Amino acid sequence: MANKKRSPEQIVQILRNMEIETGRGISQEEACRKHGITLQTFYRWRKEFGGLQVDQTRRLKELEIENQRLKKVVAELALDNSVLKEINKGNF
């Protein structure tokens, strides 16, 4: 299968469609095949996005991006702090 990047909104929509289809009696394997994903991908998506609404997935993505940015800032500050400590000791 082709490795497709799907947005969180698309993933939530696929999960909802699969929930409806399995409610109508279609097996999970058949529903996965219909949507072009593996059963493992379905379980991974359901674990990450299960129960979320579309607007919540957008907010989740925004928070993940903000978290990455903040981690980068903290790493840079820690490096600056360590350099300043070395300079203060006179070990440069």
pLDDT of residue 80 exceeding 80, the answer is yes
16 close to 57: Cβ distance less than 8 angstroms: no
Complete DSSP assignment for 41-69 = HHHHHHHHHTT--HHHHHHHHHHHHHHHH
Write the DSSP symbol of residue 25: T
Between CA 79 and CA 64 the distance in angstroms is: 23
Domain segments of the chain: what residues?
Answer: 1-52, 54-92
Give residue 92's pLDDT band: very low, low, confident or very high (50, 70, 90). Answer: low
In this predicted structure, what is the pLDDT of residue 74? 97
54 close to 12: Cβ distance less than 8 angstroms: yes
Each residue's pLDDT tens digit, 12-71: 899 999 999 999 999 999 999 999 999 999 999 999 888 778 788 888 889 999 999 999
